[in-house]
Structure 1
Amino acid sequence: MYLKKYIALLSTAFSFMMLISCNSSSSTENKTTTANTEGGTEKLRIAVIPKGSTHSFWKSIHAGAVKAGQETGAEIIWQGPQKEDDRQMQIQVVQNFISQGVDGIVLAPLDDRSLATPVNAAVKRDIPVVIIDSDLQSKEYSSFVATDNKMGGKLCAQRLAELLGGKGKVIMLRYSEGSASTAEREAGFLEGMKEYGPNIELISTNQYAGATMEKAFQASQNLLNRFPQVEGVYCPNESSTQGMLRALQTSGKAKKVKFVGFDANATLIAGVQNGEIHGLAVQNPFMMGYEGVKTIVAVVKKENYEKRVDTGVKLVTQENINQPEVQELINPDLDKWLNQ
């Protein structure tokens, strides 16, 4: 009899604990839902993951993402590695956002192979991914929002061939292995040189600048010392272009060597204005961040979206730099979106 009473008492206690647990879980879910709602509508949480956080290019992407977030009512969570060579950190960031259960991810992959696995894992967890800036070796992502990088490289080749009159000795300083966007720009440049400058001699095309401006500066100095006869130079991104500009300046070869690069910041724009840089292929990173977020929100909401969005590229020179459309491209009002 005592045993029956004991069992009954245990059963009652167990039922009571289960009831408390259920109520607690329900309360937690309600808090989560409330915290992630606005005006009675669930607010989407979108993670935007850049390659790095130091270059002005990524600040422009951040500003564009913030604008799109405000227009769509989505919460934008901006996080990425500080340096553009920290693949492991970027992988960890993606994995952390998967664990948090964000609604969607906008990613600029540092490496076209190593970031494929975490992206595939996100999609398997029903978290869609939009890739921006640089492509990925995966078929799982929903859309690719980026510059036509190969076309940008060809524009640079055309400009440099014209500057050299179709002949001369040229160096191409590559950016970093595994970066699909700059690899496309490098390939486009080489294709363009065959088309526009068949008599131009490419004296070095296999050296890499690395992920920082300081590394790019050192690599550029080494190349200029090895090839003092160089007459033209091409670099495929912001840090490599700025590192080469500094090396040309310190060696006394600025303005003398025809120089074409990629991307824009205050230093590089000044280089165009004073004749030290003879052409810059300028992307529209603000639009890239904006369209990336708009696209992922459409994917999550199961609305229509484009599988490929070309955000454009324009060659900026000393001749056209003061045109209003060029000024708008190279001097976006980032403070309007980032300092609110």
Structure 2
Amino acid sequence: MYRKAVCFLYSFLLIAILASGCADQSTKKTSTEQNQDDRLHLAFVVNLPDPFWNYARAGCYKAEQDFNVKCDFKIPFDGSSTEQNRILETLIQQDIVKGIAVSPLDPKNQTEILNEVAAKVKLVCHDSDAPDSNRLFYLGTNNYSGGRQVGQLIKEALPDGGQIMIYVGKMDVLNAQQRREGVIDELKEGVSASATKPSGLPRTAIMAGKYIILDTRTDQGDRATAKKNAENTLKKYPDIDAMVGLWAYNVPQCLEALKDVGMEGQVRLISFDEDELTLQGIKDGYVHGTVVQQPYEFGYQSVKYLKALVGGDTSMIPENKQLDIPTKVIKKNNVEEFWAHLKALQQLGEEAKKSSN
């Protein structure tokens, strides 16, 4: 009887200890979850699905780790301002997000919703600006200057001039307008304007010194349409000298269209952004060069500054409300080094993501 009582008491104590341990672990887990929930909650909203934004996402992950915040990364699935507006409305209705960075798709027609957001949370623009809204400042590329760099690459590729077609997703977006303007101004610089257009040019053609910009083709963010635009160009203007893409996926689609008809290397390609197909095209000698942004910094700096703004610090806001992140020109002589740098940034983001989980 005594032995049974001892065994019973031992079993009871063991169960109690295990239960206590489980309760302690549960308490710790709840405490950890609570700490996660207590972090400052921010959001980073892009314009459309594109691999370009993977680098910005990596920057957000690293900033989450460095500044102990939570940042929701939001992508309009169809690349429309309607879907982007829905995302913004949902974020401010949740009443937990305190700061938002957004790349506006249609700034002129989004002023009302952007001002509504700015009235409730700290709002900044990245990648593309909405200067007529109440956003606190714009963080990103000087797109006009970037466009001029594209123009310089065109001059290198075609020193004697030639016929050019420009491709971009949407002309409603300010970054597209500014890049195109920069290209045209750079090609016109130092050259007197032609009095008349040569016969046979489309009505949309622009004379820019020694260069003829046949048109600007848009695709609304759809890659199939972007490729079709390139295919149609090659059919209508078989002697075209250069194809210029102002959004990340444009030149990769142009290159595919050229490969389909065995013309790769016969038409000069000049790009914007660091799409991997563009970088590979530079290595292969099919793409003359590209002007790249720093999307990793878009993500990292947006999170950094939004946290500061929520805390009452406005010292980072420049007088002109434009916080420029420099571009870089990538050609065959530096593409390998740059590509390795991109992979390192992605690795930083992945490591930060794992540590936060």
Shorter chain as normaliser: what TM range?
A: 0.7 to 0.9
User: Runs of 4+ in structure 1 displaced over 6 angstroms?
Assistant: none
Q: Distance in 1 between matches of 2:274 and 2:84?
A: 24
Q: SS of 2:165's equivalent?
A: strand
Structure 1 residues 329, 157: CA separation in 2 closer, same or farther (over 3 Å shift)?
farther
Q: SS of 1:331's equivalent?
A: helix
Identity of aligned residues (%): 22
- Map residues 105-124 of structure 1 onto 2, 5 A cutoff: 105-124=100-119
Structure 1 residues 194, 282: CA separation in 2 closer, same or farther (over 3 Å shift)?
same
2:349 to 332, 337, 340: 337
The answer to whether residue 282 in structure 2 is matched with residue 268 in structure 1 is no
Q: Distance in 2 between matches of 1:337 and 1:159?
A: 31
Give the equivalent residue in structure 1 for 2:13: none
Give the equivalent residue in structure 2 for 1:154: 148
- Map residues 9-48 of structure 1 onto 2, 5 A cutoff: 38=35, 42-48=38-44
Q: Distance in 2 between matches of 1:112 and 1:242?
A: 27
2:225 to 215, 222, 240: 215
Q: Distance in 1 between matches of 2:174 and 2:341?
A: 23
- Map residues 250-265 of structure 1 onto 2, 5 A cutoff: 250-265=260-275
Q: SS of 1:334's equivalent?
A: helix
Amino acid at match of 1:47: A
Q: Distance in 2 between matches of 1:92 and 1:203?
A: 37
The answer to whether residue 57 in structure 2 is matched with residue 62 in structure 1 is yes
Q: Distance in 1 between matches of 2:162 and 2:268?
A: 10
User: Any idea what the Cα deviations from partners look like across 1:215-274, whole Å, max 9, x if unmatched?
Assistant: 100111111111111111211011212211111221222211111011112211110000
The answer to whether residue 328 in structure 2 is matched with residue 314 in structure 1 is yes
1:246 to 256, 262, 280: 256
Contact 1:116 1:137 in 2 (8 A): no
Amino acid at match of 2:35: E
Give the equivalent residue in structure 2 for 1:10: none
Q: Distance in 2 between matches of 1:297 and 1:37?
A: 19
1:130 to 103, 121, 124: 124
Give the equivalent residue in structure 1 for 2:76: 81
Deviation at 1:199, TM superposition (A): 3.9
Give the equivalent residue in structure 2 for 1:189: 183
The TM-score, its normalising length taken from structure 1, stands at: 0.82
Contact 2:44 2:100 in 1 (8 A): yes
Give the equivalent residue in structure 1 for 2:158: 164
Amino acid at match of 1:321: V
Contact 1:145 1:311 in 2 (8 A): yes
Contact 1:142 1:299 in 2 (8 A): no
Amino acid at match of 2:76: P
Deviation at 1:281, TM superposition (A): 0.7
Q: SS of 2:335's equivalent?
A: coil
The answer to whether residue 302 in structure 2 is matched with residue 305 in structure 1 is no
Segments of structure 1 that go 5 or more residues without pairing to the other structure are: 1-33
- Map residues 280-295 of structure 1 onto 2, 5 A cutoff: 280-295=290-305
Q: Which moved more, 1:187-196 or 1:95-104?
A: 187-196
User: Any idea what the Cα deviations from partners look like across 1:56-78, whole Å, max 9, x if unmatched?
Assistant: 11111111112112211111111
Contact 2:107 2:174 in 1 (8 A): yes
User: Any idea what the Cα deviations from partners look like across 1:275-306, whole Å, max 9, x if unmatched?
Assistant: 11101111110011111111111111111223
Structure 1 residues 203, 189: CA separation in 2 closer, same or farther (over 3 Å shift)?
closer
Q: Which moved more, 1:97-106 or 1:199-208?
A: 199-208
The answer to whether residue 106 in structure 2 is matched with residue 96 in structure 1 is no
User: Any idea what the Cα deviations from partners look like across 1:155-211, whole Å, max 9, x if unmatched?
Assistant: 111111122123222222233131111221111111111027754232412321330
- Map residues 198-237 of structure 1 onto 2, 5 A cutoff: 199-237=209-247
Give the equivalent residue in structure 2 for 1:7: none
Q: SS of 1:218's equivalent?
A: helix
Q: Distance in 1 between matches of 2:124 and 2:45?
A: 10
Equivalenced residues, count: 301
Structure 1 residues 150, 177: CA separation in 2 closer, same or farther (over 3 Å shift)?
same
Q: SS of 1:173's equivalent?
A: strand
